[in-house]
Amino acid sequence: MSLLELKDISKIYGELKALDNVSIHVDKGEWVAIMGPSGSGKSTMMNIIGCMDKPSKGQVFLDGVDISKESSRKLTEIRRDKIGLIFQQFHMVNYLTAVENIMVSQYYHSLPDEEEALEALGRVGLRDRAKHLPSQLSGGEQQRVCVARALINHPELILADEPTGNLDEANENIVLDLFRQLHREGTTLIVVTHDPEVAEAAQRTIVLEHGRVAREIINENFQE
């Protein structure tokens, strides 16, 4: 059953077609990587999927609902309720501790619950770092906190933008292991990346070029 479906969407900035008639679909529980060189429309697609932008043309179905015409206010609600975001540059509130950063997400979603937030931190192996400020955490640790933050509200979809872009190999593996774990639990994952290794970890890779879907690759070696 499809969780996300983009139907013939285009995004046009003046003369430039950032996305040109793209259609993709992602099933519930699927792990998909989106790859492509700079300027291929990755970011635009990521923004549209993440409900931070609207297509100029076409429809976006999330969980069977067309969200392409929703107001930005409604989009914020959808993002809050259904999507967990992970960024390349981590983006933590720098004056809040690790656990508090997770609780911010809970706060906007429903109710902050410190126990639950600590549990989430435990899942990414950082329970003992709960009271540390972002400046006291390494890059890998920060990204793991962000993963914990993304999954705290049990989103339908986790959308990660170059999640390993700023990480060394060891941390990259930790993060990918976390993704595998989430996948086993049935979470839908969309990972935007230009790193083939990260893409290979996914079940399926969609390659974008010049605003179009160039090809799709099914990963034969995918390990459950």
Partner 1 sequence: MNTKRKMFLKMVTASLLRRRSRMLIALLSIAVGATILSGLVTIYYDVPRQMGAQFRNYGANMILVPASGASMTTESASEALKEIPPDNLIGASPYRYVNVEMTSRQRTFIAAGTDFEQVMSTSPYFVVEGEWPRNDREILVGKETAELVGVKINSVMELSFRNEETKKRNRINFTVSGLLDTGGEEESYLFMTMKAMEDLTGITDTLDVMEMSVSAAEDELNSYAEAISAANPDISARLVKRVTKSEASVLSKLQALVLIVTLVVLALTMICVCTTMMAVVSERRREIGLRKALGASDQSIRAEFLGEGMFLGLLGGLLGTALGFAFAQFVSVNVFESSISFQPLLLPLTVVVSVVVSALSCMLPIKNAIAVDPALVLKGE
Partner 2 sequence: MFIRMIRGALVRQRGKMFLIAFTIALGASLATAMLNVMLDVGDKVNQELKTYGANITVKPNSSTLLSSLYDVEDEGEQIETAYLNEEDVSKLKTIFWAYNIVDFAPFMKMAVTLEDGNEAEAVGTWFNHHLDLTTGESLDAGVVSLRSWWEVTDGSWIDEQNDPVNTIMVGRMLAVRQGWNAGQTVTLTGPRGSEEVTIAGIYDAGGDEDEQIYAPLDLVQKLNGLDGKVESIEVSAITTPDNDLAKRAAQNPAALSAADYETWYCTAYVSAICYQIQEAIPDAVASAVRQVAESEGSILDKTQLLMILITILSLIGAALGISNLVTASVMERAQEFGLMKAIGAKDYSITGLVMIEILITALVGGVAGYFMGFGFAQLIGHSVFGSAIEMKVMVIPIVVVLIALVTAAGSLPAIRMILRLRPAEVLHGSKT
Least CB distance from residue 26 to partner 1, whole Å? 20
Residues 6+ apart with CB under 8 A from 28: 1, 2, 3, 156, 186, 188
Least CB distance from residue 222 to partner 1, whole Å? 29
- Residue 19 binding target from partner 1, partner 2, none, CB below 5 to 8 Å by type: none
Binding site for partner 1 (CB under 8 A): 43, 47, 50, 52-53, 73, 76-77, 79-81, 85, 87, 89, 91-97, 100, 103-109, 111-113, 133, 149
CA–CA distance, 222 with 51 (Å, rounded to integer): 29
- Residue 108 binding target from partner 2, partner 1, none, CB below 5 to 8 Å by type: partner 1
Interface with partner 2, residue 171, by CB under 8 A:
no
Residue number, 116 or 200, with CB nearest to partner 1: 116
Residue 85: which of 224, 171, 191 has the closest Cα?
Answer: 191
Site for partner 2 in 42-81 (CB under 8 A): none
Residue 64 host element (H or E): none
- Residue 111 binding target from partner 2, partner 1, none, CB below 5 to 8 Å by type: partner 1
Q: Which member of 93, 110, 214, 216 binds partner 2 (CB under 8 A)?
A: 93
Least CB distance from residue 91 to partner 2, whole Å? 5
What is the torsion angle, in degrees rounded to the nearest 10, for the CA atoms of residue 143, residue 145, residue 41 and residue 31?
Answer: 100
Q: Positive or negative, the Cα torsion across 120, 142, 192, 199?
A: negative
Residue number, 36 or 134, with CB nearest to partner 2: 134
Residue 193: which of 159, 146, 144 has the closest Cα?
Answer: 159
CA–CA distance, 90 with 142 (Å, rounded to integer): 6
Tokens encoding 31: 């792990």
CA–CA distance, 47 with 52 (Å, rounded to integer): 5
Q: Which member of 38, 71, 135, 221 binds partner 2 (CB under 8 A)?
A: 135
Least CB distance from residue 85 to partner 1, whole Å? 6
Helices 139-151 and 98-109: crossing angle, nearest 10°? 20
Residue number, 49 or 124, with CB nearest to partner 1: 49
- Residue 204 binding target from partner 2, partner 1, none, CB below 5 to 8 Å by type: none
Residue 152: which of 128, 117, 125 has the closest Cα?
Answer: 117
Footprint of partner 2 (CB under 8 A):
89-94, 134-135, 139, 142, 166
